Amino acid sequence: MNTLTGKRAIVTGGASGIGLATAILLAQEGAAVSVVDINATQGEIAVKEINTSGGKAVFILADVSVAADCQRAVQITVKQLGGLDILFNNAGIVRRADVVNLPESDWDLVMAVNVRSIFLMSKYAVPEMMKAGSGSIINTGSGWGLRGGRNAVSYCASKGAVVNMTRAMAIDYGQQKIRVNCICPGDTDTAMLRDEASQLGQPIDQFLAEAADRPLRRYAHPMEIAQAVLFLASDASSYVTGAILAVDGGGTA
């Protein structure tokens, strides 16, 4: 416990799912956390839960596909928390369709939320990490960033981009002691997973059964993904950068 005492973290998409679990875990481990999300109601609930449990968190309402919002999120974090050491680029969406049936607007939206947000948040976070003398950036990829998937062309493309962005950023900022890594979750028990079933018009029970079709015979819980983020955020991974960590119950195996 308290492996992150004194650290300051940003978690995008921190109001629900993997982001919420990670924000809670980082706070439990001693970090002060900025929960960044487009959902104000859920974001305030998340921060209240962390603060009433003895942690320290602030909520920042932001659309992470918008440059001004990303810059403001970093500025507020630095002002209120005293600096920035950890950035978890987790905000993401999925639109399930093949290339013929996917609206152009959905392609643009997925790329904006899943890829542009990492570029923008990192653009403003890296200079603050340089001031601190080190930092850890963790990007959320996907098993479908490592291999293809059916009826998910924009999602697969965006997560493939995240994987290689991670490698490029690790090369660029290693000398500044900023580590950049990527987690690639498999199907995880979140609202987004259930929304996929709705998009595909599949019964939820059938969809979840297919999600569990992997060596461990189940899908993940958000806190299991958060534990992997904690490892990459902490000094336990001090010699790890440019890594792509599959946390998928063996799905990509």
> Residue type at 241?
T
Nearest one of 217, 243, 215 to 229, comparing CA atoms: 243
**Beta bridge partners of residue 57, listed in sequence order:** 33
Other Cβ atoms less than 10 A from the Cβ of 123: the count is 13
In tens, the pLDDT along 4-43 reads 999 999 999 999 999 999 999 999 999 999 999 999 999 9
Q: Is residue 76 in a domain? A: yes
Q: Is residue 128 in a domain? A: yes
Band (pLDDT 50/70/90 cuts) for residue 2 is: confident
**H or E stretch covering 34:** strand 32-37
What the block records as the tokens of 206 is 């059938």
Q: CA 170 to CA 166: how far, in whole Å?
A: 6
Domain containing residue 171: 8-244
The total number of structural domains that make up the chain: 1
Catalytically active residues, by annotation: 155
pLDDT higher than 90, residue 103: yes
**pLDDT mean over 169-196:** 96
Q: CA 223 to CA 219: how far, in whole Å?
A: 12
Q: Is residue 252 in a domain? A: no
Q: CA 164 to CA 10: how far, in whole Å?
A: 22
Q: Is residue 249 in a domain? A: no
Band (pLDDT 50/70/90 cuts) for residue 221 is: very high
In the chain, the percentage of residues whose pLDDT exceeds 70 is 100
Q: Is residue 2 in a domain? A: no
75 CB-near residues (< 8 Å, 6+ apart):
124
pLDDT higher than 80, residue 112: yes
Q: Is residue 251 in a domain? A: no
CATH number of the domain residue 120 falls in: 3.40.50.720
Q: Is residue 135 in a domain? A: yes
pLDDT higher than 80, residue 172: yes
Average pLDDT, the chain: 97
Structure confidence at residue 1 (pLDDT): 66
Q: H helices within 93-190, ranges in order? A: 104-111, 117-132, 153-173
Q: Is residue 91 in a domain? A: yes
In tens, the pLDDT along 192-209 reads 999 999 999 999 999 999
In tens, the pLDDT along 81-90 reads 999 999 999 9
pLDDT higher than 70, residue 102: yes
